[in-house]
Amino acid sequence: MSRVLFVMITLVVFGLLIKLGLWQLSRAAFKQEWQSTLIVRQQQHALNYEAMLALVNLSKLPTGSESEAALLTGYRLSILAKPVNNTIMLLDNQVYQGQVGYLAYQVFEITPEQPWILVELGFVAANKDRRILPQLEPLEIRYYTLYGRVYQKQTNPFSDQLDAEQRADAPIRFQNINTAALADMLEHSLIPVVLQPENVPRYNLPQPWVPIPLSAQKHQGYALQWFTMAGVFLGLMSWIAYRQYRR
């Protein structure tokens, strides 16, 4: 291997490892800022539905910030709404305290003209036989005063399809919260946030709250790993170069 090629490979790989470490540090800084934003939102008064719709429209405006910065997760919301129907929806492949299961939802209407909203009922464990779905009693169709916090699931670039499984007299099992696809299935507009109410009538199911999938500390740990790998790689290449020079 020529000296020029050796030096080029060393610089390219070393620079790539350093760049990955710096990217992780930038993600850590963003997550710290995002955590502070969530704390502030939790301390604010609950919004009404009109104010939430206004925020949704505002979040669609183009900005120069990262995509997560436009998320509405963490805002508190208070609504007077009723279930659209008696259908229970189950978000598949959820884990809570080491147990695999589903997040149960029901679609609610505020007024016939406004977008509907997906309301989380809570976590329910899955049967070992995937053909057997949990049987939950839907909330009866009448108006409820619901208050709690909203969240938006971050888009999975590898799988964001709704993939709804509809069977007669059974809950709808789906794979991802894709509000656009869900709105098409329901044939009605749907607000792109989910309400996790503190006062689900008749239910006492656990409600997982993981607004930040990876903490700032995790990103800092990954950054340290990349920087360590860069140092080890540079040391190894320097040792090889020294051996070649001695020969």
What confidence tens digit (pLDDT) does each residue in 188-240 have? 999 999 999 998 888 889 999 887 777 788 888 999 999 999 999 888 888 88
**Average pLDDT in the 7-15 region?**
88
- Report DSSP letters for 18-87, one per residue: HHHHHHHHHHHHHHHHHHHHHHHHHHSPPB-HHHHHHHHHHHTS--SS-GGGG--TT-EEEEEEEESSS-
Q: In the numeric block, which tokens belong to residue 114?
A: 């406004």
What does the pLDDT read at residue 241?
A: 80
What confidence tens digit (pLDDT) does each residue in 53-70 have? 999 887 765 444 444 445
What does the pLDDT read at residue 66?
A: 46
- Report DSSP letters for 74-130, one per residue: T-EEEEEEEESSS--EEEEEEEETTEEEEEEEEEEESSTTSPEEEEEEEEEEPPSST
Own/partner long-range contacts of 219-226 (Cβ < 8 Å, ≥24 apart): 219/24, 219/25, 219/27, 219/28, 219/31, 220/24, 220/25, 220/28, 222/24, 223/21, 223/22, 223/24, 223/25, 223/28, 224/21, 225/21, 226/17, 226/18, 226/20, 226/21, 226/24
What does the pLDDT read at residue 1?
A: 57
Window from 129-133, 144-148, 213-217, 231-235 with minimum mean pLDDT: 213-217
Give the best-scoring range by mean pLDDT among 84-93, 127-136, 160-169, 202-211. 84-93
What does the pLDDT read at residue 191?
A: 94
What does the pLDDT read at residue 123?
A: 96
What does the pLDDT read at residue 203?
A: 86
What torsion do the CA atoms of 59, 65, 68, 69 make, to the nearest 10 degrees?
-60
What does the pLDDT read at residue 158?
A: 64
What does the pLDDT read at residue 189?
A: 94
What confidence tens digit (pLDDT) does each residue in 16-41 have? 999 999 999 998 888 888 888 888 99
What does the pLDDT read at residue 141?
A: 94
Instruction: State pTM to two decimals.
Output: 0.78
Judge whether residue 107 has pLDDT over 70: yes
What confidence tens digit (pLDDT) does each residue in 149-194 have? 999 876 665 677 888 888 777 899 999 998 889 999 999 999 999 9
